[in-house]
Amino acid sequence: MLAGVKAPRNRLDRRAVRWWIVQALVVATPPVAVLALLTALIAPARTWLGLSLAITGALAVAYVVVMPWWRYRVHRWEVTDDAVYALSGWWWQRRRITPMARIQTVDTASGPIQRLFGLAGLVVTTASAAGPVHIQGLDRSLAAELAQTLATRAQAIPGDGQ
């Protein structure tokens, strides 16, 4: 039976929250810094720039504080004997089920910030038009172990992936 009848059990590694905080800071800091500089330098437009800075700053703080915890709360994954199951999304949640027989490739990927936190992502590719299943924010060694396990299981099952 495929894992689709129940929510996946496993949370991402808790270090993913810190990774997402850093990512959010990288995205949110430049517009706030530019508006702060413009507000300081352009006296005639200081009122409107200051208002823009306040709004942008408040949104940036909310994004940095809320987004990582929201993602951690929502994102889940599970590997069963039959399938890989992933749940992701913020507002619109996406459930992805990939049967073992449909797996074509399994890879791990990690960017420089992920590596700083000892994290990696798992990328499970099928011939589906929906694209690969991504599970981001796993412990690096767990991601490598899962990739090996999934590749071995997929190879043992006759089906589309071979």
Per residue in 72-84, pLDDT tens?
A: 999 999 999 889 9
The confidence score (pLDDT) of residue 159 equals 58
The helix, strand and coil proportions of the chain, stated in percent and rounded to the nearest 5, come to: 55, 25, 25
Is a pLDDT exceeding 50 seen at residue 4?
no
From 12, 20, 24, 30, select the one nearest 114 (Cα to Cα).
20
Residues forming a β-bridge with 133: 124
How would you class 82 by CB atoms within 10 Å of its CB: exposed for 0-12, middle for 13-18, buried for 19 or more?
middle
Q: What is the pLDDT of residue 5?
A: 54
Place of tokens 């990690």: 110
pLDDT over 70 (residue 161): no
pLDDT at 3 over 70: no
pLDDT for position 154:
86
pLDDT tens for 97-143 read 889 989 999 999 999 999 999 999 999 998 888 889 999 999 999 99
> Taking 90 as the threshold, does the pLDDT of residue 91 lie above it?
no
Is residue 160 over pLDDT 70?
Answer: no
What tens digit of pLDDT does each residue of 31-67 get?
Answer: 999 999 999 999 999 999 999 999 999 999 999 999 9
Residue 12, both tokens: 């991402």
**pLDDT score for 127:** 83
Q: Which residue, among 130, 122, 127, has the nearest Cα to 151 in the 3D structure?
A: 122
Buried b vs exposed e over 90-113: b needs ≥16 C-beta within 10 Å? eeeeeebbbbbbbbeebebebeee
Would you say residue 1 has pLDDT above 50?
no
